[in-house]
Amino acid sequence: MIDNLSKRFENQLTSIIEKTNNRLTNNLGLDYLDQQWDAINAYDEEFLDNVNRNFGINEVANAYKDAIADAASNPAQQQRLTKLMNDQLKILKEKDKLTEYDVERAKTLLDIEKQRM
C-alpha cells in the first residue's frame, strides 16, 4: 500500500514537472534551452567588450608608436609606419564587433612591415 502511494506520488510529481517544463519552454525542453544559452554565451565571448576593445586598440597604437620612434633615423620608414598605423586604427575603431583576432592581425601587420625595413 505504501509502495503504491509512493509510486502514485512520484508519477504525479513527474507529471507536474514535465507539464511545467513544457509550458516554460514551449515544449522545447530545458536541455534545448540550456544548449541555446551556451551557444549565445560562446558567441558573445568571441567579441571584446568595451574595456577590452579600448585596451586592444591602445595596445596596437602603442606598438605602432614605439616602432615609429625606433625608426626615427629614417623618415621614409616613419611615414610608412604612420600610414599603416592610421589605416589599422581606423579599421579597428570602425568595427562593430572587435575580436582578439583583429587586434592580433594589426600587430602582425606591424611585425611584417618591420621585417621589410
The Cα 20–Cα 96 span in angstroms is: 40
What tens digit of pLDDT does each residue of 3-50 get? 887 888 888 888 888 888 888 778 877 788 788 888 877 777 778 888
Question: Do residues 88 and 52 touch, judged by C-beta distance below 8 A?
Answer: no
Q: Residue 88: which residues within 8 A CB-CB, separation 6 or more? A: 60, 64, 106, 109, 110
Per the model's pLDDT, the better-predicted residue between 62 and 116 turns out to be 62
Nearest to 97 by CA among 40, 46, 41, 58: 46
The Cα 18–Cα 4 span in angstroms is: 21
What tens digit of pLDDT does each residue of 39-84 get? 877 777 778 888 889 999 999 999 999 999 998 888 989 999 999 9
Which DSSP category does 96 fall into? S
Nearest to 102 by CA among 49, 47, 63: 47
Displacement of CA 82 from its chain's centroid (Å): 28
Rounded to two decimals, the pTM is 0.64
The Cα 67–Cα 57 span in angstroms is: 16
- The full set of domain ranges for the chain reads 2-41, 50-116
